[in-house]
A and B are shown apart, each in its own frame.
Chain A
Amino acid sequence: MIGVWVLLGAVVLAVVVAAVKRALDGRFRTAGPEASSRDGDGDGSQLEVLTPAEIGGELGARLTFVQFSSSFCSPCRATRTLLGDVVRTREGVEHVEVDAESNLELVRRLNILRTPTVLVVDPAGVVVGRASGLPRREQIEAVLASVGG
């Protein structure tokens, strides 16, 4: 009988994980003192700043999407396609992809747990928001709308 209960438990757990993932994927959270303490990021009171050298790409005049990817990651490719498509038509918005595996120090510093993780970086290199998982197009558009389209 125990097998039946364990089987039911596994099915319930799978449903819960799928629901949580669906709710969290691509949701942009604002970085900052209050956001970090709410998320329990430990010290968290410091804003993270990235330099072009660290991410291996130029920062956009208005906004940069910094995407952390790894080789064993299927949604990373879809994220790359989506972000590439969004920035192509916009002035001053850049998309930079960082290989998480070869930048593990940066990954630890920014507390990146999943790929893809997309950071929203302002022209000064300050990380102002982040989302993990494949974002939806309207979530990207909402971030762009917050800096004036």
Chain B
Amino acid sequence: MTTLSPSTSTSTPAGVSAQVDPRGLRFAAALTSLVLAAALLSVEPAREIALVLTAAQAVVFAIGAFLGVRHSPYGRFFGRVVRPRLAAPTELEDARPPQFAQAVGLAFATVALVGLALDLPVLALVALALALVAALLNAAVGFCLGCEMYLLVRRVAAPAA
């Protein structure tokens, strides 16, 4: 059985260099990809559905960004249903990079929501597509696009000497 049961791992206080199962991150990214793809496909034919799906994904991103990825619904589902069926993880990952990436995802989902609410379908499509690219990369090859952007953002944000 796993050495870290879901209950002990979720009781770790957020921010204290918490560790997460990388397979859970990939699983959550795959679910995120499905939801974003469904939202993308419904922008034109059924904007209300796209709005509901995008809003739901934005809430998931927000929980992951503010409370930690283990507390997001996808992370909880992985911990309760998927991980008990898998072997113990061979390695754990720092929870901070994916948590930052959830905040980047939230930013894109928010832009998509604005686009849907203000009847700007192109804005919504572009924002959803970019979020989907990031989620697909994370799910398929474990590449965290949001994390890559961190240093670039810091470079631009900090005043030049």
Q: Which of A2, A14, A17 contacts B44 (CB 8 A)?
A: A2
How many A-B Cβ pairs are below 8 Å? 93
Q: Kindly state whether residue B48 has any CB partner on chain A within 8 Å.
A: no
With both chains docked as a complex, state the minimum distance between the C-beta of A34 and any C-beta of chain B, in angstroms. Answer: 26
Q: Are B161 and A3 in contact (CB under 8 A)?
A: no
What 1/0 flags go to A87-118 for Cβ under 8 Å of B?
00000000000001100110110001111000
Which segment of B56-64, B65-73, B74-82, B148-156 sits at the interface? B148-156
Q: How large is the interface on A (under 10, 10 to 19, 20 to 34, 35 or more residues)?
A: 20 to 34
Which segment of A39-47, A56-64, A68-76, A120-128 sits at the interface? A68-76
Q: Which of A77, A101, A115 contacts B94 (CB 8 A)?
A: A77
Q: Are B147 and A74 in contact (CB under 8 A)?
A: yes
Q: Kindly state whether residue B160 has any CB partner on chain A within 8 Å.
A: yes
Q: Kindly state whether residue A9 has any CB partner on chain B within 8 Å.
A: yes
With both chains docked as a complex, state the minimum distance between the C-beta of A74 and any C-beta of chain B, in angstroms. Answer: 5
Provide 22 A-B residue pairs closer than 8 Å at the C-beta atoms, listed in order of the A residue.
A3-B42, A4-B41, A6-B40, A6-B128, A6-B129, A7-B40, A7-B129, A10-B132, A10-B133, A13-B133, A18-B140, A21-B143, A70-B150, A74-B93, A74-B94, A77-B94, A104-B154, A105-B161, A107-B155, A113-B151, A114-B148, A114-B151
A-binding residues in B (CB < 8 A): 22, 37, 40-45, 93-94, 96-98, 100-101, 121, 125, 128-130, 132-133, 136-137, 140-141, 143-148, 150-152, 154-155, 158, 160-161
